[in-house]
Amino acid sequence: MKPVLDAEEIKQAIQKIAREILEEEELLEKVVLVGITTRGVPLSQRVGALLKEAKGIEVPAGVLDMTLYRDDLSRLSTHPVVRRTEIPFSIDGKSVFLLDDVLYTGRTIRGALNALFDLGRPDRVGLAVLVDRGGREIPIEAGIVGIHVEAKKEENVVVKLKETDGEEGVFIE
């Protein structure tokens, strides 16, 4: 695996994401963060902690599992692992920021949007990703990106976070 980001660079990218959310939404009272399972969840928690540190306001954070909304579900597995969606607050009238680790084809985000709109009607939805590797198959674009990485179609961009993997780093394999 070829390293792309180390732990300190991941920290800086997450700080960039938090700054850009603050620039887009001055009224943090309207903001909610929704992490897409798996690695979007710790990203949303880290961003939430930075927002609280910057403005002293606790930003609600939730977990979204969009497995059943995937358009390629039958190709992935005959027994998909479905995790829980935990959004214990209303998203109606809110500025929702979806967070994920890697944006590639756009299919995960399309599914996440479908799942999100089943839960309510936000005023706006923003997308923040740690890594945008290009290669879209559908027209989805992240408004906030930690880092852009060029990877060939046959390569995988792997994000490892302490909370989910016990280590930190972004790699191409």
73 — pLDDT class (breaks 50, 70, 90):
very low
Residue 117's CB is within 10 A of a number of other CB atoms, namely 12
Regarding predicted confidence, which is higher, 76 or 128? 128
52-68 pLDDT tens trace? 999 999 999 999 998 76
Q: Would you state the pLDDT for residue 164?
A: 96
Domains of the chain, with CATH numbers? 2-73+82-172 (3.40.50.2020)
What is the residue-averaged pLDDT of the chain? 92
For 39-56, the pLDDT digits (tens) are 999 999 999 999 999 999
Contacts 24+ apart (CB under 8 A), 49-54: 50/14, 50/15, 50/18, 51/18, 51/21, 51/22, 54/18, 54/22
Q: Average pLDDT, stretch 16-37?
A: 94
pLDDT beyond 50 at 16: yes
| Residue 77 confidence (pLDDT) above 80 | no
- Looking at per-residue pLDDT, the higher value among 128 and 28 belongs to 128
pLDDT at residue 76 is higher than 60: no
Percent of the chain with pLDDT over 70: 91
pLDDT of residue 24: 92
The whole-number pLDDT of residue 128 equals 98
